[in-house]
Structure 1
Amino acid sequence: MNKYFYKFITLNIISSVFFLESCWFDKTKPNVVYMPDMYYSEAYEPYSDPDFNNQNNKKIKIPLFKEKTSSLFPVKGTIARNYSFYNLTDFENKGLNDSKGIIKNPLKNNHLEKMEDLIKEGKKLYQINCSICHGKNGDGQGELVKNEKILGVPNYKDRDMTIGSIYYVITYGKNNMSSYASQLNEIDRWRVSEYVMFLKKK
């Protein structure tokens, strides 16, 4: 009996010690902080001095950079997402009617891509982005049209369009179709435009 009693008492004492150790009544000051720099994190401005706690006392040197900064500047030669290498055509401040005057693909004119490659790449992009509404053959009978989710999608053969006007509509949108400039870069838009013309003439 005494043997079990002592075991019980010992177990109670040990569990009480663990319980009391885990309790900390002042919740604003935790007993133990595993990662204090994350627990007590402070916000600071990008491209500011990274040593925001001791700005006057400590100097931090960042390799390869003359200035102290909390963020690294872009690598030399990087370009913005919407930037174009080629500057193929200037559509700024020009409308759809003006774009109809472009009848030749600048990718082809500047010998950037061969015709076979344009059609091949254009077909892939068309099937991903366009065929759901315009149909695989450009007849306006895509899956959304067949299921009556969207109406009024034209057949390419019935439309008076050039490669320039197609590019313009893909870039800026028209009627129910919104712009695809965020999904397709400039080169890919010309590829799709070439494939649309291929379907129109087919």
Structure 2
Amino acid sequence: MKSIYKITLLVCITILVSSCHDNSKPNYQYMPNMYEPVSYNTYSQSDAFKNGKEGQLPVEGTINRGFEPYQYENTPAGYELAKLNLKSPLDSLSNDSEKGKALFEIYCAICHGNAGDGKGKLVTQGKYLGVPNYKDRPITEGSIFHVQTYGLNAMGSYANQLNAHERWLVSSYVLELKSKL
């Protein structure tokens, strides 16, 4: 007898719950903006910006976080000034020759060779010609840093791959290679 009451109760609850749903009148939503968000088109005007502009520019004079300004221009005159005046800020404790060697082998040795003799893998395979030997070049740490920052001739800039500290490490390692040649 108890089981008949339980079954009847369950059937009544099921009928009651299922009868509350009406497809022609959907339920109320607690926060409708979460379910049906306001969509914005790309580059459209928005009230979030001043005067309904499409976006805002950064304040004049701001620089990116972690960016270190470089005072020499990408010109032959800037190269000569960097060659004469630019000195490494690294002291003997922060100058890690092993890290400089590792970075040189990753980014530079493919063209310049592991010894700095201008006979890297791309040169020996005939892909690039005219890669200079460090022994024949009057280079300083400032000129090496400048060339890594801006690039020179067929060599592109490595400023996006190496931060300023890493470029100084590579510059000091290139001078070590030059002294060995």
TM-score where L is the length of structure 2: 0.61
Alignment identity in percent?
48
- What stretches of structure 2 of length at least 5 have no aligned partner? 1-32, 49-62
2:22 corresponds to which residue? none
Matched, 1:83 2:90: no
Could you tell me how far apart the structure 2 residues matched to 1:196 and 1:135 are?
11
Could you tell me how far apart the structure 1 residues matched to 2:132 and 2:35 are?
57
1:105 corresponds to which residue? 88
Q: Secondary structure at the match of 1:101?
A: helix
Q: CA deviation at 1:49?
A: 8.1
2:176 corresponds to which residue? 198
Could you tell me how far apart the structure 1 residues matched to 2:124 and 2:153 are?
19
Cα distance per residue 1:141-162 (max 9 Å; x no partner): 1110011011100110110110
Report how many residues are paired. 130
Matched, 1:146 2:124: yes
**8 Å CA contact retained: 1:102, 1:162:** no
Report 1:1-202 matches (<5 A): 42-43=39-40, 80=64, 83-84=67-68, 90-92=71-73, 95-102=78-85, 104-108=87-91, 113=94, 115=95, 117=96, 119-202=97-180
Counterpart code for 1:80: N
Q: CA deviation at 1:42?
A: 1.4
CA distance 1:172–1:156, shift in 2 (3 Å): same
* Bigger fraction of residues in helix: 2
RMSD: 3.0
Question: Runs (4+) of structure 1 moved beyond 6 Å?
Answer: 36-41
Cα distance per residue 1:151-183 (max 9 Å; x no partner): 100110110110000101110111110111111
Could you tell me how far apart the structure 2 residues matched to 1:162 and 1:103 are?
9
**8 Å CA contact retained: 1:102, 1:165:** no
Q: CA deviation at 1:104?
A: 3.9
- What stretches of structure 1 of length at least 5 have no aligned partner? 1-35, 51-78
CA distance 1:81–1:196, shift in 2 (3 Å): farther
